Amino acid sequence: MTHEFKEIIASYKEASKIGIRAVMATVVDVDGSSYRRPGVGMLILENRKMTGAVSGGCVEKEVLRQSQSVFTSGIPKIMTYNGRYRLGCEGVLFILIEPFSINETTIHTIEKYLESRTSFEMNSYYSKEESVKFSMGSMISFDRNNVFKFSDTFDQLPESIDNGMLCFTREMKPCFRLIIIGSEHDAIELSKIAYQTGWEVEIVNSPKNPKTTHDFPGSNKVINQSPEELIVDKVDMQTAFVLMTHNFAKDLLYLQAIKDTSPTYIGLLGPSRRREKLLSAFIEYFPEVSDEFMDCIHGPAGLNLGAETPQEIAISIIAEILSVVRNQKPIPLQEKVGGIHSNSSDKIAYNSIKDK
């Protein structure tokens, strides 16, 4: 969800420069099942342009219609949408629609946190009854002394909000980052699809044949460095590597270059025999390498989807990374017991203000 919020901020920043007002719609609660989980949001501009989504496309028109009263009154409202007969999902969505008018300081702080890959928190206060209340609204919390409201119309502090209100909390983790080590045609396809997934994509390429982001659609950074020079910072559990240089010696050297990092996933392109040979050579040179580092290595990279083309291989790799990040065993959804979105690692919490 962080990458969608990043796009919302970029859209709002441009709109605010020319004085276009905005409201934010956030799914804060769901009774039953839904196409998307609570926490997703959509920015609606006064010119009816929308950024983000709260469903698969069926709810957005109704949200746009109901947002007009918020533009007029400036007062937050909660709307419900029963998707039982319209979406095919037996659930009721509770969507908080509120004015969105953050200042330049807030925008700068958000951008700084996103760039530094630092998590922050957002809290939305609401009632499940369809209503219009000044006491409903959302806040962005960077730390205890650094809290920004979505709008000045939400003039309450958490401790003074009505006891009957609910609080929806979500942690905004760093955007997921994929670092592709390699620059052949399959790396280009992986870059494209990873970008479409909403990931930040970086390419590591040999300095002997320098390239730019124009060579890799969807990438936001190209590092033209040899393994001996390579320094990748801010590697966290929201970071994955895929080694795909198509050169055994280079893969070994680049694996050496990242051995002191702690990503969530490292994918090796090529057959199992190549993987065993590569890892044997790696351990021979670096017997002290941590078990945690070795455990995050996956090869051959990707799920068994019968992939053949570079595009299909890219999909299988991204699918495996998602299964690792979400701690899920890949199975057909028709075989899954329980909700589709259950057992996610995302931090989402609902609290009654009365309980705080």
Q: How much is the pLDDT for 347?
A: 53
Q: What is the DSSP letter of 330?
A: -
Residue 303 pLDDT > 80: yes
Q: How much is the pLDDT for 130?
A: 73
Calculate the average pLDDT of the chain.
Answer: 88
Q: Categorize the per-residue pLDDT at 101 as very low, low, confident or very high, splitting at 50, 70 and 90.
A: very high
Give 232's contacts (C-beta < 8 A, 6+ positions apart): 179, 204, 223, 257, 258, 261
Amino acid residing at 278 = L
Question: Hey, where are the domains in the chain?
Answer: 2-174+349-355, 177-325
Residue 180: beta bridge partners?
203, 242
Give 265's contacts (C-beta < 8 A, 6+ positions apart): 240, 241, 296, 298, 320, 321, 324, 325
SS percent in the chain: helix, strand, coil, step 5: 30, 25, 45
Q: Categorize the per-residue pLDDT at 57 as very low, low, confident or very high, splitting at 50, 70 and 90.
A: confident
- 159 vs 119: CA distance, rounded Å: 23
Q: How much is the pLDDT for 160?
A: 47
- Other CB atoms within 10 Å distance of the CB of residue 301: 25
Q: Categorize the per-residue pLDDT at 151 as very low, low, confident or very high, splitting at 50, 70 and 90.
A: confident
Pair 317, 302: CB distance under 8 Å: yes
- pLDDT above 90 coverage of the chain, percent: 71
Q: Crossing angle, helix 248-257 and helix 272-285, to 10 degrees?
A: 50
- 106 vs 84: CA distance, rounded Å: 38
Task: List, for residues 82-95, the tens digit of each pLDDT value.
Answer: 866 555 555 788 99
Residue 82: beta bridge partners?
92
Residue 43: beta bridge partners?
24, 51
Residue 346 pLDDT > 90: no
Residue 15 pLDDT > 80: yes
Amino acid residing at 161 = I
7: tokens are: 């796009």
Is the pTM higher than 0.75? yes
Residue 212 pLDDT > 60: yes
Task: List, for residues 171-209, the tens digit of each pLDDT value.
Answer: 999 999 999 999 999 999 999 999 999 999 999 999 999
Q: Categorize the per-residue pLDDT at 64 as very low, low, confident or very high, splitting at 50, 70 and 90.
A: very high
Amino acid residing at 141 = S
Q: Categorize the per-residue pLDDT at 69 as very low, low, confident or very high, splitting at 50, 70 and 90.
A: very high
Q: How much is the pLDDT for 174?
A: 94
Residue 356 pLDDT > 60: no
The domain 177-325: what is its CATH number?
A: 3.40.50.720
